[in-house]
């Protein structure tokens, strides 16, 4: 007992020591991050970098455009890969057009239109071994040069020497104590805006002008190119294909990400909904309706009676958590009526060929539905094992842009859809 | 902040040195009184030390459990331990443990030191950016007293400092109108020095 009592005295020592040493406790925090500052170039400097180069590995792919036997594949912010698809089982990467800041592609006849930061460039692709620039439409997308663009006397500058765009970011490491870390040092909205460029992919236009995916910002219909520029839509006359002329900058009912043309109507995918414009007067689109939904990314396509909107969660589009297909009855374009919603995994681009509805369901692969009855979509084929992003379907061949490559599938027999070829990216898509 | 760090380090060193010197004195006194002919203690023997503790720091406090298993010969114990540490950012420290007892008797003062890795188990999901936690260094030093309660069993009480580093890494893509996107990465490096008191059973 005496021994135990002495033990108790001893065990009190650690407790006393603990109390004495309580001043030696501290939670220290350091905040380590990079400070980014923009690197500017003038449009004149950028134009000097536009050139045709030999084919190079496919990297950081973006939007896709198909014209005849050629596939044009954007490399985000860098340019366009030209792929000869005469033999779908063995596509050949034949050239690369270096176009700084390029995201979108559209074509009419042999003229390829590509954005280059705030410029629109028109290339003559009659001979893919040359691809000369026929014209620059200066400052066609002023929202893309928002930091060094001046709106004076009712118009934006068209002097390529005076317009600067951000071409890169210089970074330097910084370490601060967390106490001095403030909201301002970390916020994404301080001098930064979420760009429609980020929500990339492609879509469809009149077949005579080539075909884009469902997430494109450019659409050519007849003699006009419709190009989205954040809250505006440029209406560009391409009656003379090699000489595009800006006809109108139309204000939109919100920020638009994707455009799809069908039957003299434009269907715009917006973070907050689907907007429909009539192009009965192609030089002056007129607003018909806006269908609202939760804030999400949402490409849209349409047919004679229905519009199909895939909604997926993405921080770029406001961070909503929905992942679903919404079908609207657009028999009366002024009053789209929601018909049915299907829950999906992470649906992105989509395409329709007759009654077949193709949906890129992100990591859940490609899904081919029989959409003859929109109330009861029937899954005909589910291709798993690829992380899909966008799809174009033409005459029994589906081009699928996936995280790891460009796939071509033969769907002439939908239930027996099979792979024809794959072009591998050197780096997976973001 | 650097001044504060310097002061903290100086205090740590000062008190650490005092603790070591005091323990050293205790060891020499105890050695004089130790029974040196205990043959059992001259062989490596398995021991398991299982403790419950309380961690207290500037950000609050947390309950702790640890199990340390190893071998003891004479006054030296070497073992491997694993435990819980829910202080600020929860994790599982995995560490090597060394402790020195003041004599061959079961009741004795002891010093201990742990060093290892704190594996973060904290999970965080956000809508707008990715969050990852990076594992970091873990240590625990202190001293205590073991009260014999059997031939090779004892109840142990101890107090010490415990340190862990946790790095919280957040990242997101920055999309700037008309400019290339880039990934913004922020690292918040936490160096957490806490006080810990433990009680447990050694067998």
Sign of the alpha-carbon torsion through A111, A358, A350, A84: negative
Cβ contact (<8 Å) for A24 and B58? no
A contacts of B174 (beta carbons < 8 Å): 36, 188, 192
Nearest C-alpha of chain A: how many angstroms from B166? Answer: 10
Cβ contact (<8 Å) for A11 and B144? yes
Across B64-85, average pLDDT: 93
| pLDDT tens-digit readout, B11-56 | 444 444 444 434 443 444 444 444 344 555 678 889 999 999 999 9
Nearest C-alpha of chain B: how many angstroms from A331? Answer: 36
Res A359: pLDDT: 95
A contacts of B177 (beta carbons < 8 Å): 143-144, 146, 192-195, 197, 230
> Which is higher by pLDDT, A110 or B6?
A110
Sign of the alpha-carbon torsion through A114, A119, A125, A129: negative
Domain that holds residue B93: 2-202
Res B38: pLDDT: 52
Res A296: pLDDT: 59
Helices (H), chain B: 2-33
* Tally of structural domains, chain B: 1
Q: Cα separation of A349 and A299, whole Å?
A: 6
- B51 touches A at CB < 8 Å: no
Q: Of the ranges A124-138, B9-23, B119-133, B166-180, which one carries the lowest mean pLDDT score?
A: B9-23
Residues 6 or more apart whose CB falls under 8 angstroms from that of A5 comprise: none
Contact B100, B111 (CB under 8 A): yes
Nearest C-alpha of chain A: how many angstroms from B91? Answer: 16
Query: Residue B62: is its pLDDT beyond 90?
Result: yes
* Tally of structural domains, chain A: 1
Nearest C-alpha of chain A: how many angstroms from B24? Answer: 16
How is residue A102 annotated by DSSP? -
Cβ contact (<8 Å) for A146 and B157? no
Res B33: pLDDT: 42
Up-side HSE of residue B26: CA atoms within 13 Å toward CB?
Answer: 21
Q: Is residue A359 part of a domain?
A: no
B contacts of A10 (beta carbons < 8 Å): 109, 145, 147
Q: Cα separation of A270 and A196, whole Å?
A: 10
CA angle A167, A170, A176 (to 5 degrees): 145
Nearest C-alpha of chain A: how many angstroms from B147? Answer: 6
Cβ contact (<8 Å) for A166 and B185? no
- Radius of gyration over every alpha carbon of chain B, rounded to an integer in angstroms: 21
Dihedral over alpha carbons B2, B8, B9, B12 (to 10 degrees): 180
Contact A31, B187 (CB under 8 A): yes
- Assigned token pair, A285: 């689109």
- Assigned token pair, A179: 């106490």
- B185 touches A at CB < 8 Å: yes
Query: Residue B87: is its pLDDT beyond 90?
Result: yes
Q: Cα separation of A269 and A293, whole Å?
A: 11
Nearest CB neighbour to B197, from listed A15, A194, A321: A15
CATH of the domain at B88: 2.40.160.20
Distances (CA, A) of A286 to A269, A283, A403: 16, 10, 37
Tens-of-pLDDT digits for all 430 residues of chain A?
Answer: 455 555 555 555 555 565 566 667 888 899 998 888 888 888 899 999 999 999 999 988 888 999 989 999 999 889 999 999 999 999 999 999 999 989 999 999 889 999 998 899 999 988 877 878 999 998 888 887 766 555 555 667 777 887 888 888 898 988 888 876 544 444 443 333 333 333 333 333 333 568 888 889 999 999 999 999 888 999 999 999 999 999 999 998 888 889 999 989 999 988 778 899 999 999 999 999 988 765 556 788 999 899 998 888 765 555 566 788 999 999 999 999 999 999 999 898 999 999 999 999 999 999 999 999 999 999 999 999 999 989 999 989 999 999 999 999 999 999 999 999 999 988 777 6
A contacts of B197 (beta carbons < 8 Å): 14-15, 18
pTM: 0.68
- Give the three-class secondary structure for A156: strand
Q: For A62, phi and psi rounded to 5 degrees?
A: -125, -115
B contacts of A146 (beta carbons < 8 Å): 177-178
Q: Which of residues 108-167 of B touch A (CB under 8 A)?
A: 109, 127-129, 142-145, 147, 157-159, 161
A contacts of B59 (beta carbons < 8 Å): 27
Res B105: pLDDT: 63
Res A191: pLDDT: 37
A17, containing H or E segment: helix A2-20
- Give the three-class secondary structure for A161: coil
Nearest C-alpha of chain B: how many angstroms from A102? Answer: 10
Res B42: pLDDT: 73
Across B150-163, average pLDDT: 89
Res B121: pLDDT: 92
Cβ contact (<8 Å) for A28 and B193? yes
Query: End-to-end alpha-carbon separation of chain A, Å?
Result: 71
Query: Which residue is listed with tokens 């050239």?
Result: A95
Res A409: pLDDT: 96
- Assigned token pair, A77: 């912010």
Query: Which residue is listed with tokens 């899954």?
Result: A379
Cβ contact (<8 Å) for B186 and A186? yes
Res A398: pLDDT: 94
Q: Which of A94, A96, A95, A88 is nearest to A422 (CA)?
A: A88
């Amino acid at each position: 007992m005496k021994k135990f009592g002495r033990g108790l005295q001893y065990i009190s020592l650690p407790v006393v020591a603990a109390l004495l040493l309580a001043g030696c406790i501290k939670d220290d925090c350091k905040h380590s991050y990079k400070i980014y500052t923009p690197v500017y170039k003038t449009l004149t400097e950028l134009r000097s970098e536009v050139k045709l180069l030999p084919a190079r590995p496919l990297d950081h792919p973006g939007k896709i455009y198909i014209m005849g036997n050629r596939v044009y594949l954007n490399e985000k912010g860098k340019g366009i890969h030209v792929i000869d698809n005469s033999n779908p089982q063995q596509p050949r990467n034949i050239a690369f057009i270096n176009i700084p800041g390029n995201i979108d592609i559209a074509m009419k006849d042999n003229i390829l239109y590509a954005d280059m930061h705030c410029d629109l460039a028109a290339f003559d692709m009659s001979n893919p071994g040359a691809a000369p620039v026929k014209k620059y439409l200066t400052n066609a997308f002023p929202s893309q040069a928002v930091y060094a663009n001046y709106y004076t006397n009712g118009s934006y500058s068209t002097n390529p020497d005076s317009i600067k765009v951000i071409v890169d970011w210089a970074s330097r490491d910084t370490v601060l104590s967390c106490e001095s870390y403030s909201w301002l040092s970390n916020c994404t909205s301080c001098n930064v805006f979420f760009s429609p460029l980020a929500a990339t992919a492609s879509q469809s236009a009149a077949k005579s002008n080539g075909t884009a995916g469902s997430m494109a910002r450019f659409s050519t219909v007849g003699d006009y190119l419709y190009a989205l520029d954040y809250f505006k839509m440029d209406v560009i006359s391409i009656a003379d294909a090699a000489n595009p002329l800006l006809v109108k900058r139309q204000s939109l009912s919100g920020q638009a990400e994707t455009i799809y043309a069908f039957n003299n109507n434009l269907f715009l995918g917006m973070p907050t909904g689907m907007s429909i414009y009539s192009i009965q007067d192609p030089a002056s689109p007129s607003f018909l309706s806006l269908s609202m939904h939760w804030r999400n990314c949402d490409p849209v396509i349409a047919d004679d009676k229905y519009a199909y909107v895939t909604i997926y969660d993405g921080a770029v589009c406001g961070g909503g958590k929905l992942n679903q297909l919404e079908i609207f009855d657009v028999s009366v374009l002024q009053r789209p009526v929601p018909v049915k919603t299907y829950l999906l995994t992470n649906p992105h681009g989509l395409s329709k060929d007759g009654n077949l509805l193709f949906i890129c369901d992100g990591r859940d692969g490609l899904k081919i539905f029989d959409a003859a009855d929109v109330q009861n979509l029937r899954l005909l084929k589910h291709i798993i094992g690829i992380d899909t992003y966008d799809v174009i379907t033409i005459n029994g061949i589906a081009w699928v842009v996936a995280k790891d490559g460009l796939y071509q599938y033969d769907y002439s027999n939908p239930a027996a859809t099979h792979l024809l070829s794959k072009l591998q990216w050197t780096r997976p898509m973001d | 902040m650097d001044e504060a760090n310097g002061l903290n380090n100086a205090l740590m060193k000062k008190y650490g040195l005092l603790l070591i010197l005091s323990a050293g004195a205790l060891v020499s006194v105890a050695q004089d009184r130790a029974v040196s002919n205990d043959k059992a203690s001259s062989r490596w023997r398995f021991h398991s030390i299982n403790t419950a503790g309380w961690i207290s720091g500037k950000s609050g406090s947390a309950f702790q459990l640890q199990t340390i298993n190893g071998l003891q010969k004479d006054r030296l114990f070497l073992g491997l331990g694993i435990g819980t540490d829910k202080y600020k950012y929860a994790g599982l420290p995995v560490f090597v443990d060394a402790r020195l007892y003041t004599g061959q008797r079961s009741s004795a003062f002891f010093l201990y030191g742990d060093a290892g890795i704190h594996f973060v188990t904290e999970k965080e999901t956000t809508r707008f950016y990715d969050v990852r936690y990076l594992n970091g260094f873990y240590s625990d030093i202190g001293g205590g007293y073991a009260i014999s309660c059997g031939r090779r069993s004892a109840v142990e009480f101890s107090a010490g400092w415990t340190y862990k580093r946790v790095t919280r890494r957040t990242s997101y893509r920055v999309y700037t109108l008309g400019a290339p996107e880039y990934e913004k990465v922020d690292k918040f490096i936490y160096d957490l020095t806490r006080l810990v008191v433990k009680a447990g059973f050694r067998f």
